[in-house]
Structure 1
Amino acid sequence: MAPQDALLGWDDLANAEAYEAFTRSFPMYDTTSRDLARRAHLDNAEVAVDLCGGAGATARALLDLLPDHARVVSLDAAAAMQEVGRRTLTDPRLTWITAPAEQLGDHLAPGSVDAVVCNSALWKTDTPAVCAAAARVLRPQGRFVFNIGGGFAGVRHPDEETSARPSLNTLIRQVAETDHGYTAPPGPKEPKLPLETITHHLNHAGLYVIDAEVTAQHSTMAEKKAWLSIPLFARPEGDFTHEQRLRILNAAYARTTPDARTVTSWLVVTAERPKAAA
């Protein structure tokens, strides 16, 4: 999740419950979590960290791939997310720690972790501090595996490039502009975390990129609608109540086909702590 000064909404119980229900009803988080867990090479791991772990969707994927004796630490700054996660994810190999991602190194011993995995959250953190914290806790040849949304990384997968269908977010903005006098704020001129920037942060922390891949996440308009129905993610931004946002969402969704395929781009990065010198 985000640093403490940007936590508003994440630590709200209603948001946490809606978020966790979404992760169980739709494949988006399960798919990305299992992809990251696979890249972490957990066959012989003893300890893995689910960083910015929320209600535990990625922890569940890590537990499925780890050896039976291994354990997972799920760290997140939002206590409400973890409260909801504890209700359904009761594996004794899982430990919950409530703390910001930047403080990972305060809770685990240096060189004690085989893999740190962060799903859909790194751009919301103080990224250089998180890279340093991950490097501190990783063992030699331990992996830091994470993904960055295509817009934040400045990448687009070819599948997204060839998709002629407007996104649900685009339709929401159109409805809001036409029916509610909404004016969208100007978007960022430059991506927040392109590969060049993230590589710099990783190298400065003593980690090195061993793989970077632009992937395409295929979904449906129905799944996107469910996602945007969660208060935390509802659009448009600005002076709207949640009820107003839901009406705008429903009007935008009415212009789509529920099972129409959608494509979202991700930059998936695998970094590693170097092997100790002989």
Structure 2
Amino acid sequence: MAPQDAILGWDEDANAEAYDAFTRAHPMYDATSRDLARRANLADATLAVDLCGGAGASARAILDAIPAQARVISVDNAAAMQRVGRRTLTDHRLRRITAPAERAADHLPAGNADAVVCNSAIWKTDTAAVFAAVAHILRPGGRFVFNIGGGFAGVRHPDEQSVRTGPTLNALIRQTAVRDYGYTPPSTASDAPPKLPLETVTEQLGKAGLAVLEAEVTAQHSTMAEKKAWLSIPVFARPEGDFTHAQRMRILDTAYALTTPDAPSVTSWLVVVAQRPETA
């Protein structure tokens, strides 16, 4: 068992509780979930799949968008996240399946889903395998809607730069760790290609039999206070390296003290809408 001050993973109760609490106290996941649900065209859906659904932030938005008689199936590999979700989100239309996204097709009927939604998690998966699974699940004409963090996609919304009034909280965390703990940040090539650019996504979707309908770079606006709360979730805490979680929280508090709580913070996303063709 991991010690209490370890950085806990997605299948640890402490992290699942902290993550769910964040989604309820702050608008980021609710806003992105509602954006994806809107793009999925769920008004006439009978079945929607919440892929990598976690504790249910996206499921809440999907349930609000589908007809009263429709169903949602949430697929996630972390039982701890689903345990929290069962306690905090109860709806007879929602069913949960514990399985990796790559194996979703093993647990769901072929060609039945009107839409598959994946919020804030696709880059953590084997995307080629996930896209193939999604293509198997979707009905002809069904939509697959997901987002990719700007850093992974290699995109930046203009707002990310225009509203910045000083160093990012991540930059201040690194500076604090270097100054107070002798931290040596890992060297990364400034010209390293993004891990999941649109070109790669489009190619992998095409091989799976899915076509891109829309790709848009969006901006999620928040504050330094919300960013601090997000970085307090154990799995997101920084910096990486040989630190206890308690040390990371002390570094975070020191760095945050150098900011203004209501100072704007912007996160870029690449939002992709794909579709299984109506005919082969």
Alpha-carbon distance in structure 1 between the residues aligned to 2:188 and 2:96:
36
Matches within 5 A, 1:23-172: 23-162=23-162, 163-172=164-173
Does the 8 Å CA contact 2:165/2:263 hold for their aligned counterparts? Answer: no
Match in the other structure for 2:260 = 257
Alpha-carbon distance in structure 2 between the residues aligned to 1:186 and 1:109:
45
Match in the other structure for 1:244 = 247
Matches within 5 A, 1:164-243: 164-187=165-188, 189-243=192-246
CA displacement at 1:187 relative to structure 2 = 3.3
One-letter identity of the residue aligned with 1:203: G
Count the aligned residue pairs.
270
Runs of 4+ in 1 over 6 A off after TM superposition: none
Q: Per the alignment, in what secondary structure is the counterpart of residue 274 of structure 1?
A: coil
CA deviations over 1:174-227 (Å, ceiling 9, x no partner): 111111111111236110100000000100000000000000010000001011
Return the TM-score normalized by structure 2.
0.95
Alpha-carbon distance in structure 1 between the residues aligned to 2:58 and 2:158:
26
Return the TM-score normalized by structure 1.
0.96
CA displacement at 1:101 relative to structure 2 = 0.2
What do you get for the CA RMSD once the two structures are aligned? Answer: 0.9
Matches within 5 A, 1:7-26: 9-26=9-26
Unaligned runs of 5+ in 1: 1-7
Q: Per the alignment, in what secondary structure is the counterpart of residue 231 of structure 2?
A: helix
CA displacement at 1:164 relative to structure 2 = 4.1
% same residue: 72
Unaligned runs of 5+ in 2: 1-7
Match in the other structure for 1:3 = none
